[in-house]
Structure 1
């Protein structure tokens, strides 16, 4: 039996892709070399457009534990500089503080509901491809075996075996100048400021919670996350000496002393684990030479890695998965218009390049040194202008992404706005099936089945065609359908939906 799509990697990106393929009627198989989910919590929240994307699949409420729609954050940081997002009328930056372990658990539960097969303890060891499919070599608990598939997707991280076996180069830069240390730990009660929830360190002063705090000697973060029984403490130093062996609380405390110039005593974390205790030397910024090689594709960290400044990794990778899912499903079903699958790379590579640019810029802004302090003073002035706040918020959230969909309408190629529909429903409730939708705000006859919208001053168009990934493929402002608008709609449907 030939499998439609094999996904190597059961992390968040691989699981999200599996769910998207299943929604589109395609049967995926997920191979994961680890026998069970990793307990290494590599992220502690979601930042940006991905929060609203999960809302449009009905997954946000599972993670947030509330029925209300997500709300934009009043503030955030860029390169450890605070950003006042309340100055924006339409704030695009959404946050969801939830551990990556919980995200993976939720996505695995959703994949189970969609009857996705996940084989843990099964490692891809090789493959051969031709014009018709891919033959995979797999090592499982019962020994080696082969799988025939139409497509293979590598969602297997920065050290992707799929990328390496496909011979796809991974150019970029590796640095060894930084040491970051992160651990769950407790701090003395008298250090905690009840008014802000941050720290008030004797001999240093206030440290706000949940923000990167830069000094001339390094970076310090105090993060009392609501999803954790103990706060996360992080430091970053440049050109520092690394103590041998695994990270200890004593080593983290010594690093905090060097960064802050003051002492904080860290105690062991309270409550059940898993508790993080991690040390990272240096970092990688790399972008795959291409995202596709024939019937082999890459998503997430397999396609791009970068310094994790501002939490863009999952925002980028999960949106890779949602962009690819419906296109790959159409290719498998034989309904894809010519070139549709190629738009995965042409759309997602520029998004990855912008995240790389943003991460590098933020890394420069948090570095030690008086010259960087001068640069930060200039950026602080610039961030006093709401127009610059808008540019930074759009960059960090991914709201500045505009795909080339062949239309110059202001909405075309952009993330669809959060619209109310007839009967009081939300657009996010309409899109949970992962299907395209034609939404009509006029009651006009467009010659295609349409969902009625709720007309009003907030509606930015009279009709729009929504792609399965939540981006607008076509929109119009004409009050009633005419020959030109009907023709442009037919062109958009042929181009994106076949």
Structure 2
């Protein structure tokens, strides 16, 4: 048997690969990231194309690992697609298929587990910023990052995985593909990638326009498709050609962009310079399994869909948060049976929901009478409080939930950020990635139970300002409530649940 140099090799140094590496390194795993590009920066990662909205689960994850305070852009940029006249209660804070929902229409009291001490429900950042923050943290934790090395082939055995990058080879116990929509790991690893074909070719461009006044600002549905002018010269276009141009791999010329823009906008605009252009589609596919032996997938390598709504980054970071502690426990021999397989069981349905959410948006944006009729109905519904609240909850990940059973309604949800009477918050106890047994009553039996798991479960006690009816709860390292009690705790059920996610110390 060849001795593994690393515990985990991650293909791809985007936000998902970097965050996963941080989670693994936090748990004392030896991690190598291979990234095909020499330069991590590109126009697509910078404002305005690189703008991303972070959802509630992502914000909570960054907060719980001490990373949220390092993000700066959200402090000066609330919503880049709104104007000054849209401020106040009608300020746009999101959209579904280009149909806006507004801050004043959202009834947050419907989200029972959101406390005043909770983190924000949504924040703005950019790809370049979040990658910079995660790279810095990964390097502090000892992650080795090799840029300019594309994974070209791999070989898996029962004991590990060997990967090839040109003439160099690397060996690890596990391999995780975080290498995007065209993932080499997914293709070479034998994963089935099932789904639907695209309806449109999307264009993201930076151009000089001689007569920009001919284009309307903001997002515009037309009889031929959609165009968005977020800032002068930054144009996004959707051409419902079934993805034909994107799939043709033809060069994107000034003349072509001008022709498409004129046709979609029905305006005779003239482009004098093309500085940057890329294409994308709404192809929606998902790996039928996120694991094949010692190879796993996360992020766009596991699922692709239209960027409408900006949920791809959040979905991928959720994968990383779910996978990291489970894979680390497996590596260290501290994983109960089935723990690693629960990664696919829990994350696959979340991915499937996002793909359907994306498909639904595309359907009501199509330039045909049926879609326009649906669009009109959704637009009317969006002006109601219940619909705006539901849409915001979906877009911001408020309803993200794992089916873990249990009788308490909070089981399977992210733990509310309980604030203790002394001012501490539960999220502050999660920076080291341990599980937590939360006890509002300082019950000696629960403390004894936590001690049986050593540093796998941290015992945290004290009264909170708002307890949502709880007296105790078991929190996984990813912040998900695995067990909760509203009355005197049933120690047998608590012990049984703890054994599903953690292994006890060997006596």
TM-score (norm 1): 0.83
Residue of structure 2 in register with 1:79 after alignment: 97
SS at match of 1:110: helix
C-alpha contact 2:258 2:270 (8 A) present in aligned 1: yes
Structure 2: runs of 5+ lacking an equivalent? 80-88, 115-119, 451-457
Q: Tell me the CA shift for residue 261 of structure 1.
A: 3.1
Residue of structure 2 in register with 1:182 after alignment: 204
Residue of structure 1 in register with 2:72 after alignment: 64
Q: CA separation in 2, counterparts of 1:28 and 1:491?
A: 32
1:456 and 2:459 matched: no
Residue of structure 1 in register with 2:82 after alignment: none
C-alpha contact 2:9 2:33 (8 A) present in aligned 1: yes
Residue of structure 2 in register with 1:279 after alignment: 279
Residue of structure 1 in register with 2:177 after alignment: 154
1:144 corresponds, among 149, 164, 168, to 168
Q: CA separation in 2, counterparts of 1:435 and 1:460?
A: 24
1:466 and 2:490 matched: no
1:496 and 2:496 matched: no
C-alpha contact 1:152 1:295 (8 A) present in aligned 2: yes
* More displaced 10-residue stretch of structure 1: 303-312 or 342-351: 303-312
Residue of structure 2 in register with 1:130 after alignment: 157
C-alpha contact 1:358 1:395 (8 A) present in aligned 2: no
C-alpha contact 1:434 1:468 (8 A) present in aligned 2: yes
2:35 corresponds, among 32, 37, 40, to 32
C-alpha contact 2:73 2:126 (8 A) present in aligned 1: no
SS at match of 1:468: coil
Q: Tell me the CA shift for residue 78 of structure 1.
A: 0.3
Structure 1: runs of 5+ lacking an equivalent? 192-200, 225-229, 270-274
Q: Tell me the CA shift for residue 63 of structure 1.
A: 2.0
SS at match of 2:414: coil
2:237 corresponds, among 235, 238, 241, to 235
Q: CA separation in 1, counterparts of 2:328 and 2:156?
A: 19
Q: CA separation in 1, counterparts of 2:129 and 2:253?
A: 25
Q: CA separation in 1, counterparts of 2:301 and 2:380?
A: 38
* More displaced 10-residue stretch of structure 1: 244-253 or 423-432: 244-253
Alignment of 1:105-116 (within 5 A): 105-116=132-143
1:5 and 2:23 matched: no
Q: CA separation in 1, counterparts of 2:336 and 2:442?
A: 29
Q: CA separation in 2, counterparts of 1:249 and 1:95?
A: 36
Structure 1 residue ranges, 4+ long, deviating more than 4 angstroms after superposition: 65-68, 70-74, 90-93, 185-188, 240-246, 248-254, 263-269
TM-score (norm 2): 0.82
Q: Tell me the CA shift for residue 117 of structure 1.
A: 0.6
1:88 corresponds, among 79, 98, 107, to 107
Equivalences, count: 462
Q: CA separation in 2, counterparts of 1:65 and 1:380?
A: 30
Q: Tell me the CA shift for residue 66 of structure 1.
A: 7.3
Residues 33-64 of structure 1, C-alpha deviation per residue, up to 9 Å, x if partnerless? 22332525264213423233222222222223
